[in-house]
Chain A
């Protein structure tokens, strides 16, 4: 168990260190999410409610997540790291978990900027919304990492990932937007938690088959 967690930590650290040295993903994501919010400001009619803006915030974060996931397996593919990782004497699901953790860190960094920016431009952000984003991040990272590994192995690559990811992300949007705007956010948060749990188990159990023959 400890060796498993150790493997995960090493793999996640590798990705974060790579990002820290090259700095080519997180700044781009931050810029993207802020530009998206600005674009949405002009897409909304002048008398649109804050509720509509909240929905658009979720879309902005979802697409930023998609962007992060598209980048997630690029170094693996370009430098053929994945072959090495698969051959490494560790459980294959640790690769998924390590990658998922690094994606999660990127998403949290993005939201640390996106939520204050949203509060500045549109409307204040309340506690349930922050909780919903935290849960949604876990969902995006777990499901997305597995699908990104799939897409990286295909010929269509960047094109395939959104097609695979968006239908699976619909429940995340439902839960997230619900928790942000409804009077009783508890049910929506519970739903997001259930989603995370179910898909985390499934992705954890099946990742091995995606990266091996």
Chain B
């Protein structure tokens, strides 16, 4: 949690560009790390899913589920910050030419369906398997969608917005970016562990209750 405070400090420390660009610059330090963290969560979920299918270890189910849960939260944050970015850069809340945004919309829809699967199948090894397979599909869908959006963009909108922010990062900007990235990653890990403990307790409690009832 301390790292998050560090992120906030870095947020105010770095600004170098004039006001109209300034805000846009700063949101870059939030938007991009959050997006990368979401990818990391989805990747982690898929890794745990693979472990589940491979080793049949029951604990991986909950871990994979939690990772998707945190990933979706960060995905929504990416959508929100990206939308603010689009507003400050192009004056609209939504633009179909911003690849990252479109990708996260697709991923958001996809992983929301993950919860639907979990809630409409009875708990058990079958549900664990199905969730795991779905999580694996997600991690394949990410690169495929990136490619698809790139192709679709040429089709709908031949003009590509150049992202000048990406290219010339000065040392202080890069340092801030790295701090922000580490900060969001640490936040994700903290949330993940917290949620995992909560879910484990929850399940233990339910098992105990059932044991008492029986």
Chain A contacts to B: CB under 8 angstroms: 143, 146, 150, 153-156, 160, 163-164, 166-168, 170-171, 174-175, 177-178, 181-182, 187-188, 191, 194-195, 198-199, 202, 206, 209-210, 212-213
Give the complex CA separation of A168 and B117 in angstroms: 15
Inter-subunit contact A155/B145 (CB<8 Å) = no
* Interchain residue pairs A-B with the least CB separation, the first 3: A167-B110, A171-B148, A209-B129
Inter-subunit contact B133/A206 (CB<8 Å) = yes
Contact A178-B140, Cβ < 8 Å, known A153-B121, A153-B126: no
Asked if B134 is at the interface of the complex by the 8 Å CB criterion, the answer is yes
* Chain B residue nearest in CB terms to A171: B148
Contact A154-B148, Cβ < 8 Å, known A209-B53, A210-B130: no
Give the complex CA separation of A59 and B126 in angstroms: 33
Asked if B193 is at the interface of the complex by the 8 Å CB criterion, the answer is no
Asked if B96 is at the interface of the complex by the 8 Å CB criterion, the answer is no
Inter-subunit contact B134/A191 (CB<8 Å) = no
Inter-subunit contact A168/B141 (CB<8 Å) = yes
Q: What is the CB-to-nearest-CB distance from A187 to chain B, in angstroms, rounded to a whole number? A: 7
Give the complex CA separation of A160 and B112 in angstroms: 11
Per a CB cutoff under 8 Å, which of B106, B112, B124 touches A213? Answer: B124
Give the complex CA separation of A78 and B192 in angstroms: 41
Q: What is the CB-to-nearest-CB distance from A94 to chain B, in angstroms, rounded to a whole number? A: 17
Contact A171-B130, Cβ < 8 Å, known A154-B121, A155-B120, A181-B155: no
Contact A195-B144, Cβ < 8 Å, known A164-B117, A202-B136: yes
Asked if B22 is at the interface of the complex by the 8 Å CB criterion, the answer is no
* Chain A residue nearest in CB terms to B132: A209
Asked if B151 is at the interface of the complex by the 8 Å CB criterion, the answer is yes
Give the complex CA separation of A155 and B126 in angstroms: 13
Q: Which residues of A contact B212 (CB under 8 A)?
A: none
Give the complex CA separation of A199 and B138 in angstroms: 11
Q: A160-B120, A178-B152 are in contact. List 11 more A-B contacts (CB 8 A).
A: A154-B117, A164-B113, A164-B116, A167-B110, A167-B113, A171-B144, A182-B155, A191-B148, A195-B144, A198-B144, A199-B137
Give the complex CA separation of A150 and B122 in angstroms: 12
What are 5 A-B contacts defined by CB distance under 8 Å?
A: A156-B120, A168-B110, A170-B106, A171-B144, A206-B136
Contact A210-B129, Cβ < 8 Å, known A160-B117, A170-B106: yes
Inter-subunit contact A167/B126 (CB<8 Å) = no
Inter-subunit contact A174/B136 (CB<8 Å) = no
Per a CB cutoff under 8 Å, which of A150, A187, A188 touches B130? Answer: A150
Asked if B109 is at the interface of the complex by the 8 Å CB criterion, the answer is yes
Q: What is the CB-to-nearest-CB distance from A132 to chain B, in angstroms, rounded to a whole number? A: 13
Q: What is the CB-to-nearest-CB distance from A145 to chain B, in angstroms, rounded to a whole number? A: 13
Give the complex CA separation of A188 and B124 in angstroms: 41
Q: Which residues of A contact B190 (CB under 8 A)?
A: none
Asked if B125 is at the interface of the complex by the 8 Å CB criterion, the answer is yes
Give the complex CA separation of A163 and B155 in angstroms: 26
Contact A210-B155, Cβ < 8 Å, known A156-B116, A170-B148, A199-B140: no
Q: Which residues of B contact A146 (CB under 8 A)?
A: 133
